[in-house]
Amino acid sequence: MSLVKRSIFISGGNSGIGLATAKKYKAEGYRVGICGRNADTLNPLKDEFQVYKLDVTNLEAVKEAVEDFAKDGLDIMFANAGVGYAHKTQKPDFTQYRKVFDTNINGVINMFEAATEVFYKQGHGHLAATASVAGLNGLPGVSAYSGSKSAIIKMCESLRIDLKQFNINVTCVSPGFIDTPLTQKNAHSMPFLMNADEAAVEIFYGIARNKDNIYFPKMFSSIVRILGLLPRSIYRLLMSSKKFNYSKK
């Protein structure tokens, strides 16, 4: 009798952290499903993973894909898809705010909803979502991004409490600067930059150990967390200095 493979579904699995994590789980013997919006990057991956082209903000499409993948099992849902800023600015672009929040928050909610429908029935499962250390403090120039990632951090914390009774674990992944297509657009310096393969290792073992939060790179995330302990007036003064404020007016 052959053993049933454990399985994971990863949104935004066609590039960056998502793709590196998909490859890591595949190497560890998992059955892996990925989804993304870009057919050009998804199609070459069809031989490695179960591939679904969809927009995570479309709940109906998400549920259809997850239901199809889960026919052969679903152990982990990694809601990783997200968007950032092409150009950082101190002048709010509220149209961009809505796009960032729709993908970074509603996209995670949609993936979680589809997965929990499966997990409730089978009596177990693990939810994970990509937030960011940017969600630990309000960063200059990326207010919507910081806000959206902060929401994910707190939502995951609450869900970890609420879903324990259903034998569903919840992990929040908060990276710092990772070398991905998203961060390669940044014009500013990125201290402690980590490559995506290293990030995938942190994610794999963090989820395996059922950690509530996974922070990396460790040195950078520690610095950001310490900044969060400062009185907010001092923090805002520090972030307003030219040394830290990398946004453009």
Per-residue model confidence as pLDDT tens digits over 58-85: 999 999 999 999 999 999 999 999 998 7
| Tokens 């979502």 -> residue | 129
User: Whole-angstrom Cα distance, residue 218 to residue 210?
Assistant: 18
- What average pLDDT does the structure give for the chain? 91
pLDDT band at 242 (very low <50, low <70, confident <90, very high): low
* Confidence (pLDDT) at 245: 56
Mean pLDDT, residues 173-182 taken together? 81
Catalytic residue among 145, 205, 215, 235: 145
- 3-state SS class at 34: strand
User: Whole-angstrom Cα distance, residue 108 to residue 33?
Assistant: 16
Domains and CATH numbers, the chain: 7-239 (3.40.50.720)
pLDDT at 247 over 70: no
pLDDT band at 4 (very low <50, low <70, confident <90, very high): low
| Tokens 């789980």 -> residue | 25
Residue 52 bears catalytic tag: no
* Confidence (pLDDT) at 193: 77
> Dihedrals φ, ψ of 125, to 5°?
165, 170
pLDDT band at 102 (very low <50, low <70, confident <90, very high): very high
Mean pLDDT, residues 99-108 taken together? 97
Higher-pLDDT residue of 248 and 74 is 74
Cis bond upstream, residue 191 (ω within 30): no
CB 27 within 8 A of CB 20: no
pLDDT at 249 over 50: no
pLDDT at 35 over 80: yes
% of residues, the chain, pLDDT over 70: 90
pLDDT at 248 over 50: no
% of residues, the chain, pLDDT over 90: 77
